[in-house]
């Protein structure tokens, strides 16, 4: 999920200093074993072996990696793919041994699983499910990024002096009005994926299923999606989109669908949580969209001003005997419900 962060300095008649983390190591990562090469990065933060991608730069601090764009590097659930996302807190447990080898929770075993037949691999800590061509690899430091470890971004050293006396400042200029047009129905820009997916079932109205990795509708089941909108989206346009690629275009996801009927998307008045059930689910704020989903298409559900700094929640249900279940995944090709910013 993509988020923004801010640096705040506090002080009153004194200097506030934000210092750099001296323990941070910024390195290139090299794979060896069943697949070999220096890890490169896609623009969305995926880390890959093979392919003509820019070399990644990874900074290790407190057991977690951050890449050269300041994105936290995580192990995605449930596949454990190693990639870096804006706003994500780095997965911890990584270390670099004195010989330069990289471990996760004390183990030096990693896995490379192909995403094509031309020698391209994604990186995992466990073999990816339903991918028989995964091979065991080792990861190690390939040297400092650029000319020094400072190639990776770190909080800058800033000295801020705040006078004790009040200072009169002019009012801030109003933010520009967002565009009235919808953002593109793709992930080729800033976007958010759901931090919570909760199914509710009319057949078991008091059962709380907790957060899931799959979106599911049909047979009395609806799915609720929570999105956390960064404060940096203030003044921007946000578009709710549903991406539904062909099965053959998916690399790390899949879906099943059957029957016929319509899909209905609604905005809810408040967010869901892991204790949400059919009976206690948030009330509906508005109906946003009704129609049919067909593989190979992208759908613009609604568009408007971004709810910057807020958590927003949407529900997808279906009518007739239409059923859909899919693994929400932004790896190529992305599938599921997202909020696109522009």
Tally the domains of the chain.
2
- Whether residue 201 sits in one domain with residue 100: no
Q: Which residues contact 15 (CB under 8 A, 6 or more apart)?
A: 159, 160, 161
Report the alpha-carbon distance of residue 135 to residue 111 in Å, rounded: 6
Q: Are residues 200 and 321 in the same domain?
A: yes
* Res 59: pLDDT: 92
DSSP per position, 39-95: -EE-TTSBEEESSS-PBP-EEEETTEEEETTSPEEEEETTTTEEEEETTPPPPB-EE
* Among candidate residues 84, 119, 144, the one where a domain is terminated: 144
* CA-to-CA dists, residue 22 to 2, 81, 88, angstroms: 27, 28, 22
Looking at the fold, whether 206 and 332 belong to one and the same domain comes out as: yes
Q: With beta carbons less than 8 A apart as the criterion, state whether 257 and 295 touch.
A: yes
Residue 132 and residue 205 in one domain: no
So what's the pLDDT on residue 23? 52
With CA atoms as reference, report the closest residue to 182 among 102, 222, 238, 243: 238
- The answer as to whether 290 is a domain residue is yes
CATH classification of the domain holding 237: 2.60.120
Confidence (pLDDT) at 118 = 77
pLDDT given at position 116? 76
Rounded Cα distance between 248 and 243, Å, is 14
Residue 204 contacts by C-beta under 8 Å, 6 or more apart in sequence? Answer: 278
Dmax (CA) for the chain in angstroms is 70
Place of tokens 């008091």: 206
State the residue range of the domain holding 200. Answer: 191-341
11 domain-assigned: no
pLDDT attached to residue 322: 94
Centre a 10 Å sphere on the Cβ of residue 337 and count the other Cβ atoms it contains: 23
Distance of alpha carbon 126 from alpha carbon 175, whole angstroms: 46
| 161, part of any domain | no
Residue 171: predicted pLDDT: 38
Q: What is the pLDDT of residue 85?
A: 85
DSSP 101: B
* Any domain includes 171: no
Alpha-carbon gap, residue 217 to 334, rounded angstroms: 18
- pLDDT tens, position by position, for the chain (342 residues)? 433 333 333 333 333 322 334 456 799 999 999 889 999 998 778 899 987 889 999 999 888 999 988 899 999 877 888 989 887 889 999 989 888 899 999 999 999 988 777 788 989 999 987 778 899 999 998 888 854 444 444 444 333 333 444 433 333 333 333 334 789 999 999 999 999 999 999 999 999 999 898 999 999 999 999 999 999 999 999 999 999 999 999 888 889 999 998 999 999 999 999 999 999 999 999 999 999 999 999 999 999 999 999 999 999 999 989 999 999 998 889 999 999 999
Query: Which pTM value belongs to this model?
Result: 0.52
Residue whose entry in the numeric block shows the structure tokens 């996801």: 253
Residue with tokens 């992930």: 187
Residue 326: alpha-carbon gap to chain centroid: 17
In this structure, what DSSP letter does residue 133 have? T
Running DSSP on this structure, what letter comes out for residue 107?
B
Task: Name the residue with tokens 């075993």.
Answer: 109
């Amino acid at each position: 999920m993509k988020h923004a962060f801010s640096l705040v300095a506090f002080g009153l008649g004194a200097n506030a200093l934000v210092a750099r983390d001296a323990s941070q190591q910024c390195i290139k990562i090299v794979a060896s074993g069943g697949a070999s090469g220096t890890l490169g990065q896609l623009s969305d933060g995926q880390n890959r072996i093979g392919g003509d991608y820019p070399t990644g730069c990874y900074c290790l601090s407190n057991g977690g990696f951050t890449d050269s764009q300041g994105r936290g590097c995580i192990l995605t659930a449930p596949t454990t793919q190693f990639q870096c996302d804006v706003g994500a807190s780095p997965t911890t447990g990584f270390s670099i041994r004195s010989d330069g080898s990289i471990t996760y929770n004390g183990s030096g075993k990693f896995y490379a699983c192909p995403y094509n037949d031309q020698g391209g691999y994604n990186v995992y800590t466990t073999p990816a499910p339903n991918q028989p061509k995964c091979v065991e690899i080792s990861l190690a430091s390939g040297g400092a990024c650029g000319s020094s470890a400072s190639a990776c971004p770190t909080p800058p050293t800033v000295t801020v002096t705040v006078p004790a006396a009040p200072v009169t400042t002019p009012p801030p200029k109003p933010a520009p009005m967002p565009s009235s047009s919808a953002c593109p129905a793709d992930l080729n820009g800033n976007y958010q994926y759901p931090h919570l997916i909760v199914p509710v079932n009319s057949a078991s109205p008091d059962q709380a299923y907790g957060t899931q990795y799959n979106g599911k509708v049909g047979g009395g089941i609806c799915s609720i999606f929570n999105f956390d909108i960064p404060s940096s989206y203030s003044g921007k346009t946000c578009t709710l989109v549903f991406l539904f690629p062909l099965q053959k275009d998916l690399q790390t996801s899949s879906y099943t669908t059957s029957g016929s009927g319509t899909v209905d998307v609604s905005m809810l008045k408040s967010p869901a949580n892991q204790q949400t059930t059919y009976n206690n689910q948030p009330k509906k704020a508005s109906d946003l969209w009704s129609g049919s989903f067909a593989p190979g298409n992208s759908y613009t559900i609604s568009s408007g001003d971004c709810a910057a700094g807020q958590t927003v929640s949407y529900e997808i249900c279906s009518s007739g005997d239409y059923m859909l279940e899919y693994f929400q995944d932004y790896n190529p090709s992305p599938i599921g419900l997202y909020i696109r910013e522009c």
